Structure 1
Amino acid sequence: MPGLLSMLRGGALGIGVTSCLVNILALTGSLFMLQVYDRVIPSRSLPTLIGLMGIVVTLFAFQWLLDLTRSLLLGQVGRTVDERFAGRAFSLIALSASRKPKQDAGVQSIRDIDTVRGFLSGPGPGALFDLPWMPFYLAFCFLFHTWIGVTAATGALILTGLACLAECKSREPIRKTAILLAERMAFADAVRHNSEVVVAMGFATMLSTRWASLNQRHLDSHQHSATLVNTLSTLSRSARMLLQSAVLAVGAVLVIRQEATGGIMIASSILVSRALAPIELAIAHWRGFAAARQAWARLNHEAPEVDDAERDVELPAPRGSLSVTNLHLGAPGSKTPIIRGLSFDAYAGEAVGIVGPSASGKSSLARGIVGLWPAFAGDVRLDKASLGQWSRTALGRHIGYLPQDVALFDGTIAENIARFDANAPSDLIIAAARAAGVYDMIVGLPLGFDTEIGERGSILSAGQRQRIGLARALYADPFLVVLDEPNSNLDAEGELALSRAIESVRSRQGVVLVIAHRATALAGIDKVLVLEGGRTKAFGPAQAVVNTAPGSMAVSGSFVRLLRAGGELSS
């Protein structure tokens, strides 16, 4: 971070220095006009004119070069801002499941980065750097004549007032427009992701009404802010042109009264135009400036540094136990616990089945155990070390997680199984596919492991996505494997492969947690945890829980017979 701040400060210093030279060289036109009218024309000296032209061409060439340098420096500052925040913005998206639910989480930060970078790469910042030089030009006007300086200063006050008005009036409309844009894009993205349901059940027309409403509100807000800024921009441009004519008129009066020369009259008109141009340009780009400022504020607020640095002491891979102690857990941003005071232990080579009625907290518990949801109180530990003692990346290597909604990414099957590790060994990818019982299915495809599966695995069936998700969870033999409804889309062959996968984790001394309603997913488990209302109803060896748990589980008789029957676990 200190190096980055130094880079930004260095960029600002370089821009300031080039702005200084650019604004000094901007006097070239006025001074050339002064010399032409006061020296060349009265003396009728062509050599003097040629000499002056050579000097002017050289100075304007330097001005162009410095102006280009300033633009390139501003572009580099914009790139630095992008590099600073891009990783954080992506982390907001990647870690959104473990943070307070928020519409368009992370995506808005990426848009904000584009807004700031786009503004810095445009002409707006140059105008802001030129603004402090306005008194310098006004001082030259006063040197020409007091009344020329007074006229120019009056115009400067008028345009400065318009700039302040633009700031006061545009801030809230631009903020509202940004919010409405985010809502509109979030709705469009949701419709795109659920287009199959929309088309199949024919409610696209109804959704289009909602879209039209969102779009209309955005357009109204955008038009309001654009009209406001454009009105002030055109007014400032007209005021500057009028002021330039007024200075010319004042200069003409002074020439008539023989208090100034014709060169001073023309030069002062050009000088005033140059002095006030940055204000006009700033007002014209005020909407971009206000949007960039609000985007910058959001970036600093919404995209803090993500702590995923490697720890000073890297812990060994867990090999012994999973321990959950007095765990209180709720959704990020919520103060209401879903899991209340839950405790249990699982040891190497054990499989634990987690059952209970809907909304009893099973999936919430899974999210807490793999570190997605931070605990309100209590601990989740691997080999007696809390999850926070690993970096997120290091912890991920020891965890395999298959959520209810299997999320695959646009890429190849091999990339998805290998968790997009570019250096993943082929033997580990194949071993994971075999462990999940999906190897034969993959090699049966025309391109095998190199098959592109499309966005969210669109070319695969639900069962195929679930089995590839299982292979990803088993990749590189993680110690803890958490499977949430792993057989919800599986056929008989897939369920058999799932049972073998669970057994393979047990045989290599890993820990498996299986959340399921269908009993076939719980074949071969050692312990059962029964949840009800976020609390432990029963926990212990499978047979003991079946014999002691109240309700229909006890009435059903032997838990083993229930598993073999493949029936539904009752709540």
Structure 2
Amino acid sequence: MAAPSGPVPGRRRSELGEALRACRNAFIGVGIMSCMINLLYLNGSLFMLEVYDRVLPSRSVPTLVGLIILAGGLYIAQGILDVIRARVLVRIGTSLDEAVGHRVFESVVRVPLVAGGNNDGLQPLRDLDNVRSFLSGMGPSALFDLPWLPLYLAVCFAFHTMIGVTALIGAIILIIITLLTEVLARGPMRDAITLSMRRNDLAAASRRNAEVVVAMGMTGHHTRRWGKINDEYLADNRRSSDVTGGLGSIAKVARMMLQSAVLGVGAYLVIHQEATAGIIIAGSILSARALAPVDLAIAHWKSFTAARQSWHRLSKLLAALPPQQELIRLQPPTQRLVAENISIVPPGTQKVVISDVSFSLDAGHGLGIIGPSGSGKSSLARALVGVWQPARGKVRLDAAAIDQWEPDILGRHIGYLPQDVELFAGSIGQNISRFDPDAKSDDIIDAAKDAGVHGLIVGMTNGYDTQIGERGSVLSAGQAQRIALARALYGKPFLIVLDEPNSNLDAEGDEALTRAIRSARDRGAVVVVIAHRPVAIEGVDLLLVVKDGRAQAFGPKETVLGQVMQKAQPAPPPNPIKIVAEGGVAKS
């Protein structure tokens, strides 16, 4: 996996921007439809103008019928265009999701490996949902309609200058309200999203550790912690809603007052014979229509602000985690694993947990790694399989550094059993085959037999088709660990790294583990086992002792174990020296 690099200004466009640019023809179509829709919005005011100024004075029923037919046809056309525009915007949102959705999911998976796990892991997916929902809603329609406000104001000025000035004053008031909404709602919205992420993190952690939380009486403490964060979240959310809702109500009232003001101005003009009765009604309708997009924009400002913040977060994330480059596909490794002076710094920290560790393992070798807790053994395992990149040094398979492989291709040659076993909702067979849709039944069964778990699986009601539930909830810890071992052995990978593989195993499971390690070595695999219990390293021939992040000893297992045992034996106390004092009394 190549280490992510930050965006280089001026060299790379936003992936989200590129995805939207791919929809530019659709946006052009939406713009054209918005033009036609806004022109058709003049239909209602012109119809009222003609009815009051032409039909009523002439009492012409044929004219009225003709106007009704014409206005009805235009209304139908407007409705059709409005429906089409809404459907196109929904498809633009869907297209954006389809274009970057897989990248966002990949980033969700990769973020903990490069930045640590101190974040809401699912927030990028929620951000994508926010952007898609906004694009598919009424917000963009308001934005497309806003540029037509000058047209309606121009028509109002054409009716009479005073009507135009009245409408212009109303437009300025609503624009000021819009700007206030942006300024006052931005901070509370940002804080609410941050608190929402913290709240979700705590809830997810409590759910994962439900047994510990309940058994040790921590439910009340966690509930109070969650409640405190939730109260802060609700307060910020309430402030942002109060701003948008309050200013939205003010905007609505201002628009209604403006409409009445235009009627009053029109009536004044009619009294002084400067306008006709039709202009009163038409001017009122037009002024209301001119300000409707502003009113709609304020009503949807909260979703617009949320979508904009989501857009910025997604853009930063995708820029920090660029797509994996397509690399030359190397031949499968068959000869050796080499660690060259590797030093490891866990993602999101500055602490070096492994410093300058080197060793070389040829095909068929088995290495046991032992050492006290916190010595960096699991960190070393993560570097060997490529999920963490060494801060210094290289891990090589057959002389090629592992970052020269694409992760999905490299994964076919690696079997990994982490310390914390995690299975996925699905069948046992799917979990063993790593959810490969092209997996062959024989390969799945071979992996299960290699792990010594075939008999256990076929003894279940549905055998390999048994559904294990979310996180493997229907299995015991030992069963889950043995199935995870079969997953690590699936496809007969060249490098197999097992981190505490027998932590939940009984004596039968320990024996199956030893057989699996020896069988993998016999076929030419390199096996690395991290262990605290001596039984886990029975199947290896080499041993590495790690302490405080540094290699203390490396070599044949018996030799290294002898050195370790010798160092562990306490030094004998010094022999007392007897001194004969005067008077024949012995003193020591």
Change (3 A) 1:510 1:399: same
Give the Å deviation of 1:431: 0.3
The yes-or-no answer on 1:220 pairing with 2:220 is no
Distance 2:183 2:478 in 1: 57
Q: Does 1:307 align with 2:332?
A: no
> Across the two proteins, how many residue pairs are aligned to each other?
555
The residue correspondences of 1:215-294 to structure 2 (distance < 5 A) are 215-294=230-309
Q: Cα 1:5–1:156, aligned 2, differ >3 Å: closer, same or farther? A: closer
Q: Tell me the amino acid that sits aligned with residue 308 of structure 1.
A: Q
Matched, 1:529 2:544: yes
Mapping 1:357-506, distance limit 5 Å: 357-506=372-521
Partner of 1:567: none
Name the SS of the counterpart of 2:443 in structure 1.
helix
Unaligned runs of 5+ in 2: 1-14, 572-588
Aligned to 2:80: 65
Deviation at 1:221, TM superposition (A): 1.3
Q: CA deviation at 1:212?
A: 1.7
User: Do 1:438 and 1:471's aligned partners in 2 also have CA atoms closer than 8 Å?
Assistant: yes
Q: Distance in 2 between matches of 1:510 and 1:358?
A: 27
SS in 1 for 2:116: coil
- Could you tell me how far 1:365 is from its partner in structure 2? 0.2
Shift of the 553–436 alpha-carbon distance from structure 1 to 2, 3 Å rule, reads farther
Q: Distance between the aligned counterparts of 1:446 and 1:395, measured in 2?
A: 35
Q: Which moved more, 1:529-538 or 1:475-484?
A: 529-538
Residues 357-404 of structure 1 deviation map (CA, whole Å, 9 limit, x = unaligned):
111110000001111111111100100011111111001000000011
Q: Structure 1 counterpart of 2:324, which letter?
A: D
For 2:508 and 2:267, locate their aligned partners in 1 and report how far apart those are by CA, in whole Å.
Answer: 97
Map of 2:6 onto structure 1: none
**CA–CA distance in structure 2, aligned partners of residues 409 and 188 of structure 1:** 20
Work out which of the residue numbers 179, 186, 193 in structure 1 matches 2:194. Answer: 179
Distance (Å, rounded) in 1 between the aligned partners of 2:53 and 2:539: 103
Moved more, 463-472 or 10-19: 10-19
Counterpart secondary structure, 1:95: helix
Question: What displacement does 1:86 show?
Answer: 1.9
Is residue 85–residue 299 contact of structure 1 (8 Å, CA) maintained in 2?
A: no
Deviation at 1:30, TM superposition (A): 0.6
Query: Measured at CA, do residues 384 and 308 of structure 1 come closer, stay the same or move farther in structure 2, by a change above 3 Å?
Result: same
1:209 lines up with 2:224 in the alignment: yes
Residue identity matched to 1:320: Q
1:339·1:534 contact (CA, 8 Å) conserved in 2? yes
Q: Which residue of 2 aligns with 1:188?
A: 203
Kept in 1, the 8 Å contact 2:20–2:96? The answer is no
The answer (yes or no) to whether the contact 2:103–2:323 under 8 Å persists in 1 is no
SS in 1 for 2:338: strand
State the Cα distance separating 1:278 from its structure 2 match: 0.6
Instruction: Show the counterpart of 2:36.
Output: 21
Are residues 1:132 and 2:135 paired? no
Kindly state the Cα deviation for residue 89 of structure 1 after the two structures are TM-superposed: 2.5
The AA in structure 2 aligned to 1:31 is: L
CA distance in 2, matches of 1:70, 1:104: 38
Normalising to structure 2: TM-score of the pair?
0.92
Query: RMSD value over aligned CA atoms?
Result: 1.7
Letter in 2 for 1:121: S
Supply the distance in 2 between the matched residues of 1:220 and 1:435 (Cα, whole angstroms): 57
**Distance in structure 2 (CA, Å) of the matches to 1:480 and 1:113:** 37
Paired position in structure 2 for 1:118:
133
1:104/1:394 CA distance change after superposition, 3 Å: same
Residue 159 of structure 2: which of 144, 160, 180 is its match? 144
- Which of residues 78, 95, 104 in structure 2 aligns to 1:89? 104
Query: In 2, Cα distance between the equivalents of 1:551 and 1:460?
Result: 42
Match of 2:334 in 1: 319
Structure 2 residue identity aligned to 1:263: G
After superposition, the Cα gap between the structure-2 partners of 1:392 and 1:541, relative to the gap in structure 1 and judged at 3 Å, is: same
Question: Shift of residue 551 of structure 1?
Answer: 5.1
Residues 89 and 106, structure 1, Cα contact 8 Å, conserved in 2: no
Cα distance change, pair 553–344 in 1 and its aligned pair in 2 (3 A): farther
Contact 1:329/1:374 (8 A) holds in 2: yes
Distance 1:547 1:180 in 2: 55
Assess if the C-alpha contact under 8 Å between 1:547 and 1:554 holds in 2. Answer: no
Q: Distance in 1 between matches of 2:48 and 2:415?
A: 76
Deviations 1:472-499 (A, max 9, x none): 0000000000000111111110000000
User: Could you tell me which of 181, 185, 208 is aligned with 1:166?
Assistant: 181
Q: Percent identity?
A: 51
Checking the alignment, whether the CA contact within 8 Å between 1:400 and 1:473 is kept in structure 2 is yes
The correspondence for 1:108, drawn from 111, 114, 123, is: 123
Letter aligned with residue 89 of structure 1:
V
* Aligned-pair CA distance for 1:96: 3.8
Aligned-partner Cα distance in 1 for 2:220–2:555: 53
Query: Which residue number in structure 2 is paired with residue 56 of structure 1?
Result: 71
1:12 aligns with 2:27: yes
Q: Could you tell me how far apart the structure 2 residues matched to 1:490 and 1:193 are?
A: 22
CA contact (8 A) 1:353 1:515 kept: yes
Give the Å deviation of 1:296.
0.9
In structure 2, distance between residues paired with 1:451 and 1:397: 24
Q: Which residue of 2 aligns with 1:334?
A: 349
* Contact kept? 1:484, 1:514, Cα under 8 Å: yes
* CA positional deviation for 1:434: 0.2
1:550 is displaced (CA, Å) by 7.3
| CA-CA distance at 1:552 after TM superposition | 4.0
In the aligned structure 1, how far is the partner of 2:231 from the partner of 2:214?
24
CA contact (8 A) 2:515 2:539 kept: no
Distance 2:561 2:434 in 1: 38
- Which position in structure 1 is the counterpart of 2:54? 39
TM-score of the pair, normalised by structure 1: 0.94
What SS does structure 1 have at the residue aligned with 2:115?
coil
- After TM superposition, the structure 1 stretch with the greater mean CA deviation from structure 2, 300-309 or 335-344, is 300-309
Structure 1 letter corresponding to 2:207: R
Judge conservation of contact 2:108–2:124 (CA < 8 Å) in 1.
no
CA gap 1:353/1:447 in 2 versus in 1, 3 angstroms = same
Aligned to 2:94: 79
Once the two structures are TM-superposed, the CA of residue 307 in structure 1 deviates from its matched residue by: 2.9
- Give the direction of change, closer, same or farther, for the CA distance of 1:105–1:382 in structure 2 (3 Å limit): farther
Q: Partners in 1 of 2:190 and 2:390 — Cα distance?
A: 35
Q: Distance in 1 between matches of 2:208 and 2:372?
A: 29
1:546 touches 1:554 (CA, 8 Å); kept in 2?
no
Report if the CA contact (8 A) 1:308-1:393 is conserved. no
SS of residue matched to 1:514: strand
Q: In structure 2, what is the Cα distance between the partners aligned to 1:366 and 1:554?
A: 29
Displacement, 1:200?
A: 2.3
